[in-house]
Amino acid sequence: MQTAPFIRSPDSLWLRLMRRPAGLEVRPYVTPFGETDEMLCYVGGTLIGTVVAQPLADELIVALLPTLDHSRAYPWPSAKQFEAALADLLRLPGKWSLRSERDTDQSSVPELGSRALLDEKLAGLIQYCVGTTLGCPTFHASSEKLDAQPFAAADGSAAR
């Protein structure tokens, strides 16, 4: 049995996908006793989490791997494999929203505005979850707000 690479997680860590991207595979969790109702999410064959809600036909809310029950016999990837698969998913076309909260205490959650900052926060989140750092990043990022710059016109001025 593979063991979970994570020893802790934020109180809340989820990904909302407005449309299921082509690179995401959703299939039931199969135990030695048979198929369960639990739907696991994979990117490129790497487990990233479990579906916790499907508000609309093609929309998914996914509880990400560090928050799952560490005692379950999931096909746990390494922390690096998980980080790479999640980063790959967040680069696919489509609308998404990612939220990490150390404490779900109703405090405001900072909105990230750049892909570089998101990559930095994801790396810090993985370090926190595997136990190499004490600080857990709290943030919200969405595909619509990352690097949201108006397209430049041919003359260098901002398009309107």
pLDDT for 63-122, tens place per residue? Answer: 999 999 999 999 999 999 999 999 999 998 889 999 999 988 777 899 999 999 999 999
> What are residue 121's DSSP bridge partners?
none
In a domain, 148, yes or no: no
Q: Confirm whether 34 is domain-assigned.
A: yes
Instruction: Count other C-beta atoms under 10 Å from residue 28's C-beta.
Output: 12
Q: Averaged over 37-62, what is the pLDDT?
A: 91
Q: Does 99 map to a domain?
A: yes
Phi, psi (rounded to 5 degrees) for 37: -80, -10
Residue 21 lies in a domain: yes
Residue-number span of the structural domain to which 94 is assigned? 12-142
4 domain-assigned: no
Q: Is residue 40 part of a domain?
A: yes
DSSP lists the bridge partners of residue 50 as 40, 63
On whether residue 156 sits in a domain, the answer given is no
Rounded mean pLDDT, 119-135: 95
Within 10 A of 111 (CB to CB), how many other CB atoms are there?
11
Q: Encoding tokens for residue 35?
A: 């198929």
Q: Kindly report the pTM of this predicted structure.
A: 0.86
pLDDT band at residue 148 under the 50/70/90 scheme: low
**End-to-end distance of the chain based on CA atoms, in angstroms?**
56
Dist CA 99 CA 111 (whole Å)? 9
- When divided into structural domains, the chain yields a total of 1
Average pLDDT over residues 133-145: 93
Residue 1 falls inside a structural domain: no
Give residue 52's pLDDT: 93
Q: Which residues pair with 63 in a beta bridge?
A: 14, 50
Q: How many CB atoms lie within 10 A of CB 45?
A: 10
Picking from 22-26, 55-59, 121-125, 137-141, which range would have the lowest pLDDT averaged per residue? 55-59
> Please, what is the average pLDDT of the chain?
88
Helices 79-91 and 115-130, packing angle to 10 deg: 160
DSSP classification of residue 98: E
Token couple for 93: 């076309």
